[in-house]
Amino acid sequence: MTPPLDLTGRVALVTGASRGIGYFIARDLAAAGAHVIAVARTVGGLEELDDEIKAEKARSGKGEATLVPLDLTDMAGIDRLGGAIHERWGKLDVLVANAGVLGVIAPIGHVEAKVFDKVMSINVTGTWRLIRSVDPLLRLSDAGRAIVMSSGAAHSAKAYWAPYAASKAAVEAMARSWADETKNLALRVNSVNPGATRTAMRAQAMPGEDPQTLPHPSEVAAKIVALASPSLGETGLIYDVPQGRFISYRMPE
Ligand code: NDP
């Protein structure tokens, strides 16, 4: 039997922690003992998370949160966040780069330039800027773990999903390059395909679908937090939640 995840004394940064999958990843990391730095724009969602984490701490003595209302298009803000983490903790143990937007489901020629730019700015440039900001801090951890949220769309590349699919293919490729750069260090970097999950983003993408047919984000999050474990060995892979296993898309040179 796998021992329960123990993240006591570890610092974890989770983006998109105000709702959906990121909310429950943040909650579960705190329940495992981590100090969670919870990032999103919606203060109400972050406060709700904080209330849950405080209630759990009262029960089990485990977990804490620092709330960071931040728009991931604010590149200077992302840089400042890395500086603030360095000042307060001198390291980062876990990064969950989860925040993302769908943009629009539409034929490629109908996508408005501002929508395309927004998807790229949040999903790709914001994620890269965050990685750049915290990479030195993850290297200072004795077991840095990075989890970068991708999507099956990066590979299925279905009709009408072009901006989102392209953005997820991009973050996944970044994560794999980063993993290759750091493979001889303690840092482990993996992407995740959470699979179709009952969240606001999925409802936007598939308005005709019955959400009750999909797993709740808490179920999906529970399977992802294991990638934060200090004992994880894999790096440069994609953890596919629906299949419950790691897969590799690396081509031979
Ligand atoms: P939600 O739409 O439910 O949540 C998205 C999160 O990202 C929110 O917390 C939101 O916070 C945050 N976010 C969005 N834009 C910004 C921004 N500009 N700055 C800071 N934070 C931002 O999405 P899901 O939980 O469904 O998705 C989480 C991840 O999983 C995404 O990367 C998504 O692409 C991926 N995914 C989801 C699937 C699904 O079926 N749900 C399937 C495959 C992948 P706020 O608005 O408060 O800023």
Q: Compute, in angstroms, the gap from residue 99 CA to the centroid of ligand 1.
A: 4
Q: Compute, in angstroms, the gap from residue 115 CA to the centroid of ligand 1.
A: 16
Q: Which residues pair with 190 in a beta bridge?
A: 147
**Ligand 1 atom with least separation from CA of 41:** 48
In angstroms, the CA 185 to CA 181 distance is 9
Provide the H-helix boundaries in 120-161: 127-139, 153-156
Question: Strand 11-15 and strand 238-240: pairing?
Answer: unpaired
Among residues 216, 219, 10, 194, the alpha carbon closest in space to that of 95 is found at 10
Q: Which residue has the tokens 């980062």?
A: 92
Sign of CA pseudo-dihedral 12, 16, 22, 27: positive
Asked if residue 105 lies in contact with residue 46, where contact means CB atoms within 8 angstroms, the answer is: no
The 10s digit of each residue's pLDDT in 3-19 is 789 999 999 999 999 99
Q: Which residue has the tokens 């709702």?
A: 19
**Looking at the annotation, which residues are catalytic?**
164
Q: pTM for the complete prediction? A: 0.98
Cβ neighbour number for residue 84 with a 10 Å cutoff: 13
Check if 22 has its Cβ closer than 6 Å to any atom of ligand 1.
yes
In angstroms, the CA 132 to CA 164 distance is 22
In angstroms, the CA 193 to CA 48 distance is 26
Q: Compute, in angstroms, the gap from residue 209 CA to the centroid of ligand 1.
A: 18
Check if 197 has its Cβ closer than 6 Å to any atom of ligand 1.
yes
The one-digit pLDDT tens for each residue of the chain (253 residues) are 667 899 999 999 999 999 999 999 999 999 999 999 999 999 999 999 999 999 999 999 999 999 999 999 999 999 999 999 999 999 999 999 999 999 999 999 999 999 999 999 999 999 999 999 999 999 999 999 999 999 999 999 999 999 999 999 999 999 999 999 999 999 999 999 999 999 999 999 999 999 999 999 999 999 999 999 999 999 999 999 999 999 998 888 7
**11-247 homologous superfamily:** NAD(P)-binding Rossmann-like Domain (3.40.50.720)
The radius of gyration computed from the CA coordinates of the chain, to the nearest angstrom, equals 17
| Protein residue with its CA nearest to atom 6 in ligand 1 | 16
Instruction: Please choose from 13, 14, 15, 19 the residue to mutate so as to test ligand 1's pocket, defined by most ligand atoms within 8 A of CB.
Output: 19
Check if 156 has its Cβ closer than 6 Å to any atom of ligand 1.
no
- The three-state secondary structure class of 19 is coil
Check if 151 has its Cβ closer than 6 Å to any atom of ligand 1.
yes
What is the average pLDDT value for the chain, to the nearest integer? 97
**Ligand 1 atom with least separation from CA of 15:** 21
* Packed helices 20-31 and 217-224: angle between N→C axes, nearest 10 degrees: 50
Instruction: Please choose from 70, 167, 201, 224 the residue to mutate so as to test ligand 1's pocket, defined by most ligand atoms within 8 A of CB.
Output: 201
The residue ranges of every structural domain in the chain are 11-247
Check if 141 has its Cβ closer than 6 Å to any atom of ligand 1.
no
In angstroms, the CA 101 to CA 104 distance is 9
Check if 127 has its Cβ closer than 6 Å to any atom of ligand 1.
no
